[in-house]
Amino acid sequence: MIRLSSRGLVDVSPRRGWFVIEPTQAQAREIIEARRAVETGLIMDHAQVSPEAIMRLREHLAAQREAILGQDLARRSYLLGHFHVHMADVLGNSVLAGILENLTARTVLIAALYQSEEDAQQSCDDHAELIDAMERGDKERAIRLTQEHLAHLGKALSNRARSNRHSGLHAVFAEAAS
């Protein structure tokens, strides 16, 4: 719980316990803007992506698809967010991977609260297109896809009703804390 608190995901109240910090729409927008800056910069710095990196990204994509098909909300939310951390890692930038880990941990919370199954599938499809563009060395398309992906994510999350928003959060935090 201390690790989640340090990431701004939970808060402790004396004599009351731990509470999930529900991000506001403004906070969600700021997180997505920060991710856009970091991720497009990461792509701009990597014109060539090794076949090994592409293979590792495709393996991650396969795990995303499995989680979506299996209707595993916790794993789906985690993997969709972690893809971006994984991308920085396989491209060899551990500093940006750490930054993205912090940002995507917040995005996973937002997704668990608001992301529909259709939006999750769209994110997975976006990741597949991004990998294809990177494999072809099409940096401009990869940047455009990243920007569109994050814009879609922001719009989709801001349009979600808040009903049943806490279902599955325990499982998501268990995955994020591991």
Residue 21 falls inside a structural domain? no
- Three-state DSSP class for residue 178: coil
Lowest-pLDDT choice from 48-57, 65-74, 111-120: 111-120
> For the chain, what is the domain count?
1
SS (H, E, C) 54-93: HHHHHHHHHHHHHHHHCCCHHHHHHHHHHHHHHHHHHCCC
Residue 70 falls inside a structural domain? yes
Residue 3 falls inside a structural domain? no
Which CATH number do you get for residue 161? 1.20.120.530
Residue 18 falls inside a structural domain? no
CA–CA gap between residue 21 and residue 173 (Å, rounded): 12
Q: Is a pLDDT exceeding 80 seen at residue 134? A: yes
What range defines the domain where residue 66 resides? 27-177
pLDDT band at 22 (very low <50, low <70, confident <90, very high): low
Residue 31 falls inside a structural domain? yes
Q: Is a pLDDT exceeding 60 seen at residue 46? A: yes
Q: What is the mean pLDDT of the chain?
A: 83
Residue 13 falls inside a structural domain? no
AA identity, residue 38 = V
pLDDT band at 2 (very low <50, low <70, confident <90, very high): low
AA identity, residue 148 = E
Handedness of CA 34, 41, 154, 157 (dihedral sign): negative
